[in-house]
Amino acid sequence: MFKHCKIFPFAIFFTLLFEITNGTSPTGCSYDSAYSSTGVYTCVFGSYSEPLTYSAFSSPLPQRLKITNLNGNLPASGSAFSGFSSFTSGSFDRNYPAYLELVCTTSGSITLTTSTFTDMSYLQEVKFSYCNIVSLSNGILGPFGSLNSLIFEHGSIASYSTDFLTSVTIESLAVAEPKGELIIKDCSITPTTIPAGVFDGQTSIRTIQLVKAGITAIDASAFSLTTQLNYMSLVDNAITSLDSNLFTSMKSLSSIDLGGLAYDCSCSNLDVLTYSSDNSVKLPSDLICNTPASYQDKKATKFYAETCATVSSCSGLSCYTAIEIVGFVLLGLALIVACVALAMICHAKRQITSAAITSRRRRPNRWSKMKNAMRATNRGRRGEKPPMKSKY
C-alpha cells in the first residue's frame, strides 16, 4: 500500500505533463508539438462543430492553427470562428507569429464572406493552400486588420475586385521575423491584368511576389502608392511587356525578379533595364526575349546592347535644345566680358607701374640735392669737396 501511495503523485504529474504537452482541443482537432515547443493545432474541416470555438483550446492557446480538408462554404453563413477576439498579443509566444493556414482538398473550392473571419484580428500571418477561392471582394480580409504575411499558394482565385485588399493592411509587424509580404504563388488569378488601384492601400508593404499567377499585363499605376516596396517578383507569368512608368514610384525598390517571362524585346519596351541600371535595382534573373525571332531565348541585355543605339546621330545645333543654345551663347558672352575686363586690368596696372618708374627716375635723390645745395652756397670756395657719400 505504501509503495502505491508513493507512486500515485508521480502518476498524477506525468498525466498532467502529458495533457499540457498534447494540449486540449475540441473534437476534430489535434495538437502537434513534434517540431517546436509551441506546436500547431490541426483541425479537420467537417470533423468539428462549427463555429470553431476559442474556449475549447487550452495548454497552449491556439496561437498557430491549421484547418484542413476544406471544400465548400466556410461556413455557409456567419463566422467560422467564435470567441477568438479574447486572444490578445500578451498571451503569445514571441518566438512564433499568430498564424492561420487553410488547406483545401484537391481541387476543393471555398466561398468566403465578410463575416467568415470575424473575431480573428489577433492573427499576424494567414495562408491559403490548394484552395480555389470563388471570389475575393472588399471586406472579406478586413477582420484580420494588419498582417505580417498573406499567402495564396497553389489553387486559384476565380474572381477578385480592385479593392479586395483595401480593408487589410500588409506591413512588417513586431514579430520574430518581420516580413510585410503578399505572396500569390502557383495560384492563377482572374482578371489576369492587374488593374490600377489594387495595391493603393498598401503603402507599407515590403514584398510582393506574384509568381506563376497567370498574369498577362499590369496597369502602369498599379504600384504607384507602394512607396516602401523593397522586393518584387513577377516570375513565370505571361507578361510580354512592362510600362516604362511601372516602377518609378517605388523609391525603396532594390530588386525585381523577371525570370521566366517570354518578353517582347524592343528598344521602347526595355525601359526596365535602364531603370535598373540608373537606380541600382538588382535583376536576380535574366529577362529573356521571345521576340524578335532572331533573339528568341536570348538575354534582353544582349538585344539591348546590340540593337538599341546609344550613340547620338544628331549633328551641329540639332543636337541641342533651345535652352541649351541660349545657355551656351550667354556663357560665351560672359567669357568675352571676363577676357576684356582682365585685359583692361592688366593695361591699367602696366600704366600705373610705368608712371611710377618714370617718377622715380625724375625725382633727385638726397645726395644730389645736397651736392647742388653746396654748389650753390660755396661757389667761392675752391678745393672744398662735399662729404663722402654714405653707404647707408
Instruction: Average the pLDDT over 106-111 and give the result.
Output: 88
Q: What is the dihedral of CA 94, 97, 100, 105, to 10 degrees?
A: -110
Q: Cβ of 255: how many Cβ atoms within 10 Å?
A: 14
Domains and CATH numbers, the chain: 11-307 (3.80.10.10)
Instruction: Average the pLDDT over 263-280 and give the result.
Output: 95
Tens of pLDDT along 180-214? 999 999 999 999 999 999 999 999 999 999 999 99
Q: Sign (positive/negative) of CA torsion 179, 185, 191, 192? A: positive
Pairing of strands 207-211, 181-185: parallel
Angstrom distance (rounded) from CA 225 to CA 197? 9
Q: What confidence score (pLDDT) does residue 148 get?
A: 98
C-beta separation of 129 from 104 below 8 A: yes
Q: Sign (positive/negative) of CA torsion 81, 85, 90, 96? A: positive
Is the pLDDT reported for residue 325 higher than 90?
Answer: no
pLDDT tier at 342, thresholds 50, 70, 90: confident
Query: Chain-wide mean pLDDT for the chain?
Result: 85
Angstrom distance (rounded) from CA 247 to CA 253? 8
Amino acid at 338: A
Tens of pLDDT along 31-56? 987 766 567 999 999 999 999 999 99
C-beta separation of 171 from 180 below 8 A: yes
3-state class of 45 per DSSP?
Answer: coil
Using CB atoms within 10 Å of the CB of residue 26, give its burial: 0 to 12 exposed, 13 to 18 middle, 19+ buried.
middle
List Cβ neighbours of 199 (8 Å cut-off, separation of 6 or more): 165, 205, 208, 222, 223, 225, 226
Amino acid at 14: F
Pairing of strands 288-291, 29-32: unpaired
Q: What confidence score (pLDDT) does residue 388 get?
A: 60
Q: What is the dihedral of CA 123, 127, 132, 135, to 10 degrees?
A: 40
Using CB atoms within 10 Å of the CB of residue 314, give its burial: 0 to 12 exposed, 13 to 18 middle, 19+ buried.
exposed
